[in-house]
Amino acid sequence: MEPALRLSGVTKTFGQTIAVQQMDLEVPRGALYGVIGPNGAGKTTCIRMIMSILFPDQGELSVLGHRSALDAKDRIGYLPEERGVYRKMRVGAFLTYVGRLKGLSAGESAARGQHLLERVKLPDTIDRRCEDLSKGMLQRVQIAAAIIHQPDLLILDEPFTGLDPVSVRLLRELILEEHHRGTTILFSTHAMAHAEELCQHVVMIHRGRKVLDEPTAALRRRFDSRTIRFEPLDPSSSLDLVRALPTVESVRGSDNGYDITLVPGADPVAAMHAVTGLIPVARIELARLRLDDIFIGLVSDADATREQLRASLQALSVEGATA
């Protein structure tokens, strides 16, 4: 079956800047893909090329079996990173207008608009002008506009940015609903936590190049953690016995206890048993997979220093989590 999306050797430059370089990507129909990477990595340029808003200098694209998204625009839902509305337009009229541009009839568009406003918990805003809504409310309207025509392919560019926690949860539910309906979903984010939570498949982009393209499950296996986090019951306990364990490579202090790095190939479960047998612990856990750690690992050879990159990504993760 023809994939929903295919990019082959796609390159885009702006003057001297290479925004996207030799990008290959294939998104199967019905999949839920996350494109992650820091700001300026080339995610939005990639998405704009997929949407035929920008055109690649080299390479080929296929969108829902067409050589250009222009031929399938009515089957694609899109929430751009830079979102906007007609400020003077009424919310219902705006949704109807977008629905009609996406090929719906006037009646159908109005009915779906009303239904979606109820779904995003804004049923009373239908006759209000867009300029009278708060930023968060407007974002929910824009999300409704992106899915009003029940697209086959839904592309969301940084959809969680600027949303309050309630709206984040609502958007997650909507994404999953669309996914269960069979829609192929591709969303970009610099908040790795969202990708970890939602995606079946993760694509990482750094400086216009794809540095990772794997299912989330496979990632978890491949980058299986060798770190155990623990907190002794008595903070003054000596860790010499733990350090002496043959499966332990190193022990270092962290914010709320210690991180134990195991030697390659060590069984983490056995190591955890061994640690609890040596000293009483208040808490012990296997460190969870973190996409930002994987990302840092993958791009550590790049000219940015590891510390700079970590600081940058942690800041973004915090921003994404609070959003």
Partner 1 sequence: MTKIWLVARREFIAAVFNRGFVIGLLMMPALLALFAVLGPRIFMPRPVHVTGDIAVIDPTGRILPALRTSLAAETLAAHRERDGRRLLAGAPPMARNMPGARPMLDAMLGADAVIRVVDPPAGPQPAIENGKVWLRADSPSARHLALIVIGDHAIAPGDQAESDYELFVPSALDMRVLDVIHDGVREAIVTVRAAEHGVDRERIEALMRVRRPSAVTVAKDVERSAGGFNIVLPLVMAGLMVVGVMVGGQTLLTSTIEEKSSRVIEVLLSAISPFELMAGKILGQLAVSLLVLVVYCGLGVALLVSFAMLGLLDPLLVLYMFVFFFITYVFFGAVFATAGAAVNDMKEAQTLMGPVMLLLMGPWIVAFPIMREPESTMAVVLSFVPPVNAFVMMLRLASTNPPPAWQALLSIAIGVASSVLAIWFASKVFRIGLLMHGKPPNLATLWRWARAA
**Residue 48 binds to partner 1 (criterion: CB under 8 A):** yes
Does position 80 interact with partner 1 (CB under 8 A)? The reply is: yes
DSSP 40: T
Q: How far is the CB of 96 from partner 1 (least distance, A)?
A: 10
**CA atoms of 30 and 20, how far apart (whole Å):** 25
Nearer to partner 1, 130 or 245 (CB): 130
Applying CB under 8 A, the span of 26-34, 49-57, 184-192, 293-301 interacting with partner 1 comes to 49-57
Nearest Cα neighbor of 41 from 234, 321, 269, 302 is 302
Write down the H helix ranges in 89-134: 91-101, 106-119
Question: By C-beta, is 143 or 266 nearer to partner 1?
Answer: 143
Which of these ranges, 48-56, 179-187, 268-276, 313-321, lies near partner 1 under the rule CB under 8 A?
A: 48-56
DSSP assignment string, 241-261: HHHTSTTEEEEEEETTEEEEE
Burial letters 187-219, b for 16+ CB under 10 A, else e: bbbbbbbbbbebbebbbbbbbbbbbbebebeeb
Decide: is 98 part of the binding site for partner 1 (CB under 8 A): yes
- Residue nearer to partner 1 on the CB measure, 97 or 223: 97
# residues near partner 1 by CB under 8 A: 26
Taking each helix axis as running N to C, give the angle between helix 165-180 and helix 135-147, from 0 to 180 degrees, rounded to the nearest 10: 0
The least distance separating partner 1 from the CB of residue 65, rounded to whole angstroms, comes to 18
The percent of the chain in helix, strand and coil, each rounded to the nearest 5, is 40, 25, 35
Query: Could you say whether residue 113 binds partner 1 (CB under 8 A)?
Result: no
Query: What minimum distance in Å lies between the beta carbon of 176 and partner 1?
Result: 22
Write down the least CB distance from residue 64 to partner 1, Å.
Answer: 14
For residue 304, the one-letter residue type is A
Amino acid identity of 142?
A: Q
Contact by Cβ (8 Å): 76, 65: no
86 touching partner 1, by CB under 8 A:
yes
* Binding residues among 127-186 for partner 1 as defined by CB under 8 A: 142, 145
The nearest distance, CB 102 to partner 1, in angstroms, is 5
Q: Between 135-147 and 106-119, two packed helices, what is the crossing angle to 10 degrees? A: 130
Residue placing its CB nearer to partner 1 in the complex, 5 or 85:
85
Unique residue bearing structure tokens 């829902």: 64
CB of 152 to partner 1, least distance (A): 14
For partner 1, which residue of 12, 43, 102, 207 counts as binding (CB under 8 A)? 102
Whole-number minimum distance, CB 200 to partner 1, in Å?
24
Residue 158 CB, shortest distance to partner 1, in Å, is: 12
Contacts of residue 256, defined as CB under 8 A and 6 or more positions apart, other chains included, come to: 231, 283
Interaction of residue 12 with partner 1, rule CB under 8 A: no
User: Is residue 274 a contact residue for partner 1 (CB under 8 A)?
Assistant: no
Residues that bind partner 1 (CB under 8 A): 48, 51-54, 70, 73-74, 76, 78, 80, 82-89, 97-98, 100-102, 142, 145
